[in-house]
Structures are given as structure tokens and as C-alpha cells.
Structure 1
Amino acid sequence: EERFRTIFESAPIGMVITGAERQIVDSNQAFQDLVGYTQAELATMTFADITHPDDMAKSQEISRNLRAGGQRHYTIEKRYLHKSGRIVWAVTSTFALYDSHGAYKNAVILITDISERIQAEAALRQSEER
């Protein structure tokens, strides 16, 4: 537990632990910086509150599959809504955790900001179109 806590708190990528209903139970400083909210604010939220509307359906479908046990982990690129209103692109890897009876308990989520890469790709496409 102590080793995990040290890794969790000092990791350079966002890390989040969610509860059974997708509520944000804990998050590290890297994730808080990514979305612009404090842990106290995030503790009152779910991922639905910070997921871009265009990515909501896909995120909810994957979450249902995790909770049902049909899928134990997944990785997607998705957009988050920063507190300031700007969009943050990230690679999100989610790992579901189940209790000894196989019931969904919670998830550990790793989030890597890829906004700069997405912006560079868009700039390259624009320059190629000219």
C-alpha cells in the first residue's frame, strides 16, 4: 500500500481511482493539473462531468462493459474538459478491479496528456492542405 501511494502521488502522469459508480475517489496532482480541479472538487464529480460531450457515449459504453466484467481493461484517446473550458486530449488506460466474488469494485485509470501531439498533427494537416 505504501509503495503504491508513493507511486500514485509522484507519478508524472495522471492517476485516478474511481468507485463503483464512476465517482472520483482519489486522484494525483498530475491529474488535478491536467483538468484544473482540486481533489476536493473532483471528489464531488464523476468522469461524466469532465468528459467532452462527443466522447461521452463511447466512454459510457466502455464503462458498462467494465462493470459487467466483459472487459477488464481498455485504452482510448479521449477529450477532457479543463476547468477553464479548454479541451485536453489524453490517452486513457483503465483497469477494472473486482472483488473475490467477481463483482466490479473500482478502477484505476492512467491518463497521459497528448494535447501537444494532437495540435502538432492538426498543424501538419493544415500545412499539407495548403
Structure 2
Amino acid sequence: MSTVAPLERLRALCLALPEVTEKISHGEPAWFVRRTFVTYADHHHDDRLAFWCAAPPGVQEELVATDPGRFFRPPYVGTRGWVGVRLDVEVDWDEIAELVTDAYRTVAPRKLIERLASLDSRP
């Protein structure tokens, strides 16, 4: 089990992506690439430690249906397809990295998505 706090691990994943900035939004850390793509949710409106992230169409429904103990429809942004991901249960950080990268791709400008693809294809 990692001794690194979930916020620090999530922050590192987000800030590793091209041109990402971190700001406080609604009292919580949030990561932006022109627009918000991930928001930390430390018991924000409920009893869960989680994050909310942008997701491609259909992903929220699929994840919530597959594993409602780990995934949920977050308030406010859930209507736009965002997915809530619990961090107070057993966490697969490789899966979290994929979700964060998909969230980035969902909102980032094309030139940054292309830049990310070129970084992914390096040996």
C-alpha cells in the first residue's frame, strides 16, 4: 500500500499532462487545461473522498453500472457526463491514470491532444 496521499497522487497525474494548471475551485483543488477536467472532492456534498472528471460520452453510465461501489454520478457536473471516482476504497492507480488522461483528452484543445499522443509514442 502506498504512503502517498490520494490528493498528491492525483495531483502528480494531472500535472504530468501538457499545459495543466492547478487552481482552487469551489474550495477544492482542480486541474485545468483551458477548462476544468478534474476536481478533487474531499467529502464535497457527501461522505466520499473522491474526484470528479470529464469523460467521453457513455463512459459515466458504463462505469457506474459496472462498479457503483467505486464510480458514481457526481452532483452538478454529472449531467454533463462527468464521472465521480472514489478514493476512499481500494484504488487502482493505473486505472486512475487512464481516467485522468481520458478526462484531459475530453476537454483539451486538439494541439495538446496531439502533443500528448507524441509523448505517449516515445520509446
TM-score, with structure 2 as normaliser: 0.29
Specify which structure has the higher proportion of strand.
1
Specify which structure has the higher proportion of helix.
1
Q: Which has the larger radius of gyration?
A: 1
